[in-house]
Structure 1
Amino acid sequence: MGQDQPFEPIDPKSVESYEPGEAPRTWTPGDFLLTHGDAWSSKIIRFGQGLRIHGDDRVYTHWNHAALVVSARGDIVEALGKGVIRGKASRYKEKEYQVVGIDSPKNSKDRQQAVEFGKWAAEGKQRYGFVTIASIALTLLTGAKFSFFVDGQQICSGLVARSMERTGAIFNREPIHIMPADLAKYYGVRPPAPPAPSG
Structure 2
Amino acid sequence: MFATRPWRSLHTRSVQSFSPGEQIPNLLPGDFILTHGTSWTSRMIRWGEAIRYRGADKPFARWNHAAIFINEQGDIIEALGGGVQQRNISIYKDTEYHVVHLENVIDVNRTHEVEFAQACLHNHYGWLTIVSIALSLLTGSKLGFGVDGQEICSALVARCLERTGEIFPTDPWHIMPADLAKYYGVLPEDPNAPVGIVPAPDVGRQACST
Structure 2-normalised TM-score? Answer: 0.85
Query: 1:68 is matched by which residue type in structure 2?
Result: I
- Matching of residue 140 in structure 1 with residue 140 in structure 2: no
Distance 1:44 1:5 in 2: 32
Unaligned 5+ segments in structure 1 are none
Distance 2:125 2:40 in 1: 13
1:170, CA displacement in angstroms?
1.5
2:160 aligned to which of 145, 153, 163: 163
1:149: which partner in 2?
146
Deviation per residue, 1:9-51 (Å, 9 max, x gap): 3254211111100011232111000111334322221111011
Distance 1:108 1:5 in 2: 33
Distance 2:188 2:149 in 1: 32
Distance 1:42 1:87 in 2: 19
Distance 1:127 1:5 in 2: 37
Distance 1:114 1:43 in 2: 29
1:117: which partner in 2?
116
Distance 2:4 2:119 in 1: 30
1:104, CA displacement in angstroms?
2.8
Deviating runs (4+, > 4 A) in structure 1? 2-6
- Matching of residue 8 in structure 1 with residue 7 in structure 2: yes
- Segment drifting more, 49-58 vs 15-24: 49-58
1:130: which partner in 2?
127
Structure 1-normalised TM-score? Answer: 0.90
2:64: which partner in 1?
64
Unaligned 5+ segments in structure 2 are 193-210
Deviation per residue, 1:136-189 (Å, 9 max, x gap): 011011111111110010000000000001111121111111110100010011
1:4, CA displacement in angstroms?
5.0
Query: 2:189 is matched by which residue type in structure 1?
Result: P
Percent of aligned pairs with the same residue? 49
Distance 2:186 2:142 in 1: 27
2:187: which partner in 1?
190
SS in 1 for 2:120: helix
Distance 1:132 1:188 in 2: 24
Aligned residue pairs: how many?
A: 191
Distance 1:178 1:171 in 2: 9
What is the 5 A alignment of 1:49-88?
Answer: 49-88=49-88
- Is residue 9–residue 188 contact of structure 1 (8 Å, CA) maintained in 2? no
- Is residue 84–residue 125 contact of structure 2 (8 Å, CA) maintained in 1? yes
- Is residue 9–residue 185 contact of structure 1 (8 Å, CA) maintained in 2? no
Query: 1:9 is matched by which residue type in structure 2?
Result: R
Q: CA RMSD in A?
A: 1.8
Query: 1:114 is matched by which residue type in structure 2?
Result: E
What is the 5 A alignment of 1:80-119?
Answer: 80-105=80-105, 108-119=107-118
